Amino acid sequence: MSSEKYKVIIIGSGPAGYTAAIYAGRATLSPLVFAGPEPGGQLTTTTDVENYPGFPDGVQGPDLMVKFKAQAERFDSVVLSEEVDSVDFSKRPFVVKAGGKDYLGDSVVIATGASAQWLGLESEQRLRGRGVSSCATCDGFFFKEKDVVLVGGGDVAMEDALFLARVAKSVTVLHRRDALRASKIMQERALANKKIFFMWNTEVVDVLGSEAVSGVLVVNNKTGEKKEISCQGLFVAIGHKPNTGVFVGQIDLDEKGYIATQQQTRTSVDGVFACGDVVDARYRQAVTAAGSGCAAAIDAERWLEEKGDAGK
């Protein structure tokens, strides 16, 4: 059975993947994009996006990603909803397997993103985008002068707590242990902030509210005592997991599972590039992901030119 061959295969369809497709398409590379089971990435679960340039009145996350997709398709990108099952980067052309078929690529751009780790509560998932968030810098503005709860104890959690304290009326940090995991300087900053309060050995067992968050039910894991905390927002800051499982053993990953890059977007395999949240554990913003998607497409185009493959 013959396999379809492309100059560029893009795996992932968030801001990074679609931007890479736009740039590759405009370079007449006609990329193939694997959108996966959740086309658009994390933005499809976000309601109001007010910090993406060009939308002064804000835009709904799903609507923004529909625009991204339409723009990519305008420039001859082929978008498939298939999920990639496996890859073979051992030789060129690279092999990407999806839906029982083999697809060949002269180059590959990986933009599979990262997924927030959640508490695993039904109510948490039901109220995502309605008071439950995993991104303080994205959604903190909507909780101006409101009471919010944040779950976590690491550096990212403390950064989020300090950010939220600038806008919220109060920030209650819940940590399942009796001491923070964050670095000493981040602990000191958070503990010194008069708007940040801490509850130790405490875990969320339910998120309260029907249409929007009205509070959380928590339990002390030492005493078993339960209590309700009134709040209008719940921020979960217990980490992100990069979506790199399919690439294990194919390219170099760092100790946290993110794709290791050098010279901007190049991976350990010549001709394979990576962009967006799958390489970025720090910023995790739509605009930074889009920017790195642009860079990856340009790097892939120039690499193909160097190999003499761009026009074939």
CB 269 within 8 A of CB 251: yes
231 a catalytic residue: no
Q: Are strands 170-174 and 147-151 parallel, antiparallel or unpaired?
A: parallel
The whole-angstrom separation of Cα 95 and Cα 103 is 6
Residue 100's alpha-carbon distances to 82, 84, 97, 298, in angstroms, are: 10, 10, 7, 30
DSSP 3-state percent helix, strand, coil across the chain (nearest 5): 30, 30, 40
CB 173 within 8 A of CB 150: yes
Helix 61-74 with 15-26: angle, nearest 10 deg: 20
The whole-angstrom separation of Cα 292 and Cα 295 is 5
CB 24 within 8 A of CB 301: yes
**Of 76, 102, 106, 135, which one is the catalytic site residue?**
135
**Of 106, 138, 275, 294, which one is the catalytic site residue?**
138
139 a catalytic residue: yes
Helix 286-307 with 15-26: angle, nearest 10 deg: 40
In 3-state terms, what secondary structure has residue 175? coil
The whole-angstrom separation of Cα 49 and Cα 281 is 20
Tokens 């670095």 belong to residue: 183
The whole-angstrom separation of Cα 35 and Cα 13 is 5
CB 296 within 8 A of CB 17: no
- At residue 140, φ and ψ (nearest 5 deg) are -55, -35
**Of 76, 85, 106, 139, which one is the catalytic site residue?**
139
Cross-strand pairs, 10:
33, 109
147 a catalytic residue: no
Which residue numbers are catalytic? Answer: 135, 138-139
